[in-house]
Amino acid sequence: MLVAFSVAPSGTAPAGGESPDASVHAAVAAAVRIVRDSGLPNHTDSMFTTIEGEWDEVFDVVKRATEAVGAYGSRVSLVLKADIRPGYTGELTAKLDRLEQALGD
C-alpha cells in the first residue's frame, strides 16, 4: 500500500516541548526523519510524504511521525490518503513510470 500524509503542529508547545515559536519546518523535519529511518520506500515533496509498505508497518510510521510533531504544538493536524492494492510492490515509482509512458516521454 501507499500512504501519502501531511502532518503539522498548531497551538503552543506543551511543557517540555519545543519553544512556541518553533518553525513548522522543524516539526516536519522531525516527522520526515522518522519516515526515512523506518527503511520503508518513501518520497517527500512540498505537500506530502508518501510511504510504501504493509498496512501495520506504514501506519506505525505515520503514528510515530505524528507523535514527534506533537512536541511542537498543543494540537496536530494529520491528512492522509491511501492506495491499498494487495499484491503490488514498487508502486512508489511504478505508478509514475506508467504515467510517463502514457505521456510518451
Domains of the chain plus CATH, in order, are 2-103 (3.30.70.930)
Residue 21, Ramachandran bin (φ over 0: left; ψ between -120 and 50: alpha; else beta): alpha
The mean pLDDT of the chain is 91
Its sign, for the CA torsion 49, 55, 61, 65, is positive
Nearest to 14 by CA among 75, 63, 56: 75
Which pLDDT value is given to residue 23?
A: 67
Q: Three-state SS for 22?
A: coil
**pLDDT 10s digit of each residue in the chain, 105 long?**
999 999 999 887 666 565 555 468 899 999 999 999 999 999 999 999 999 999 999 999 999 999 999 999 899 999 999 999 999 999 999 989 999 999 996
- Could you tell me the pTM of the whole model? 0.86
